[in-house]
Amino acid sequence: MSSIKPSVSVEIQVPFYDLDPMQIVWHGNYLKYFEVARCALLETFDYGYVQMKESGYMWPIVDSRIKFINAATFDQKIRCTATLIEYENRIKIDYKIVCLDSGKRLTKGYTTQVAVNLETKELQLVSPQILFEKLAKIS
């Protein structure tokens, strides 16, 4: 595996509408925070969802995992860091969410995406060359 491991952090202030009746962030919203960080990460090597489509591939998420450690709450400022850890045969991104004020870890997880040819709808067993070309530009 190559040593390219781009990483991006985004800051989010928890909005009221992300809370559940117990006044903590509803568990499904952590995936939304992962998505915000994932999009920022993909943009760092110019391979966001628009560029993926233009290159002839879609990259659906086929697996995700979240480990809840501490709850995020209303108006809390959090940092979600996304790090690309695999890309040869799939895109696997690790996430860590921490409280900006205390540094306390709140959540961690990962998502896995695979390339699917838009025209044939066939799963690609190896990541398309375009991904390697995009990543080579940042190494």
81: left (phi over 0), alpha (psi -120 to 50) or beta: beta
Q: What is the pLDDT of residue 4?
A: 72
CA distance 70 to 58: 33
Placement of tokens 């066939």 in the chain: 122
Residue 59 has pLDDT above 60, yes or no: yes
Q: What is the pLDDT of residue 115?
A: 98
**What is the average pLDDT value for the chain, to the nearest integer?**
96
Q: Which residues pair with 25 in a beta bridge?
A: 19
Placement of tokens 């952090």 in the chain: 9
The per-residue DSSP string of the chain comes to: --S---EEEEEEEPPGGGB-TTSBB-TTHHHHHHHHHHHHHHHHTT--HHHHHHTTEE--EEEEEEEE-S--BTT-EEEEEEEEEE-SSSEEEEEEEEETTT--EEEEEEEEE--EETTT-PBPSS--HHHHHHHHTT-
The letter for the amino acid at 75 is D
Q: What is the pLDDT of residue 138?
A: 87
**Phi, psi angles (nearest 5°) of residue 30:** -65, -30
pLDDT (tens digit, 9 = 90+) per residue, 78-90? 999 999 999 999 9
Model confidence, pTM = 0.94
Q: What is the pLDDT of residue 19?
A: 97
